[in-house]
Amino acid sequence: MNSLPAIVTGISGGVDSAVAACLLQKEGYRVAGINIRILDTHDENPSLEPSPLVISDHPDFQIPVFSLNLSMKFFDEVIRYFRNEYLSGRTPNPCMVCNKTIKWYGLLEGARMLGAKMIATGHYARTSFSDGRYRIMKGCDPEKDQSYFLWMLSQTDLSKTLLPLGTLTKPEVRELARTFGVRAAEKKESQEICFVPNDDYCSYLKNSIPGLEKQVAGGEIVDVEGKVLGRHRGYPFYTIGQRRGLGISAPEPLYVTGVDADHNRILVGRKVDLECRVLTASGLNWVGIEPPSSAFETAARIRYRDRESPCRVEPIGDNEATVTFETPKYGLTPGQAVVFYRSEEVLGGGFIGHTHQP
């Protein structure tokens, strides 16, 4: 049993995951890395295999890496979700769904196969435990804080998770990478969706869903009064807040304010029409608190780079709530996530559904 790793660390090939693994080994843990393959041939019965990935050239950080092919699961749970959300007129966030259904699932499976007790990732966030609950806390570097993406994790997930980079800044991580001999020390970060070439989701949808472009082209572009202003190239190819590429002229700039998938219609309006105070959130997952039974005041983000804004959360079902912001938010987008915070802590989150004025 002594040869088995105590911690399994996700290894993506980037600098963050490599430094996380090296930090844990430096602290005395027995560490193994797992590289989750998601764009490979589909494997109905995935198993761990030795990976050619090398984390470090330093002799003190020769960490074994295994690969786990979850390409079939990734297609079923992330790519299908991505496509279906656009076809439903919503804007998906595949990275947070991937975190829950692929990364944490894969690392916990890998840990089980290797006999490890804990897992770790290179996310810039922190965990803590108090009052009988595991909690998600913001990363100490406000420029890199990734707590927004982790609201879907369960208490079981968090009980087995370490986040070694939560107290570090990106420059500090790069300096550690050089010290550890990490090959990816100078590798640039990618902000693109991993399965969408050139970050062009429109071309991806056209190429991956045969006949889609022809099927949805030519629908109406309608203003807030219901007046038809033109025709569009297909409702899945537009997102809330979009200004360019509308193909219509108007005396003032117009923005996409709504996507009506049922009628293949795009709604447009002025920038002020993108302001909204009320949304309905569904698929809620509460991390820092028990599911609330009554309304309460907190703060929330509606996108990764958003700042928390004061709001009131009112439960309307087992996993739904109405969220009302004190001041209007700009560009509330169905399909994205609203994540609730109390100071440095993530209380929970859910997916933005309907948006409306009170």
Tokens representing 106 are 């894969």
Percent of the chain with pLDDT over 90: 88
Are domains 215-269 and 274-356 of this chain identical in fold?
no
Model pLDDT, residue 1: 39
Determine contact, residues 171/165, Cβ cutoff 8 Å.
Answer: no
Three-state DSSP state, 346 = strand
pLDDT at 172 over 50: yes
Q: What is the DSSP letter of 2?
A: T
- For 221-249, what is the mean pLDDT? 93
Return contacts of 184-192, CB within 8 angstroms, 24+ apart.
Answer: 184/13, 184/14, 184/15, 184/18, 185/15, 186/15, 187/13, 187/14, 187/15, 189/14
Run of H or E including 311: strand 309-315
CATH superfamily of 7-180: HUPs (3.40.50.620)
Give the list of residues 6+ apart from residue 130 with CB closer than 8 angstroms, or none: none
Cα-only R_g, the chain: 22
* Beta strand segments in 188-274, E: 220-222, 228-231, 255-260, 265-269
185, pLDDT greater than 90: no
Q: Tell me the C-alpha distance between 9 and 93, whole Å.
A: 24
- Active centre residues (catalytic): 98, 194
pTM value is 0.94
* Environment class of 195 (CB within 10 Å of its CB; exposed 0-12, middle 13-18, buried 19+): middle
Domain boundaries, the chain: 7-180, 215-269, 274-356
Q: Check if the beta carbon of residue 150 is closer than 8 Å to that of residue 123.
A: yes
CATH class for the domain made up of 274-356: mainly beta
CA distance 276 to 324: 9
**The CATH number of the domain covering residues in 215-269:** 2.30.30.280
Tens of pLDDT, residue by residue over 34-83, are 999 999 999 888 899 999 999 999 999 999 999 999 999 999 999 999 99
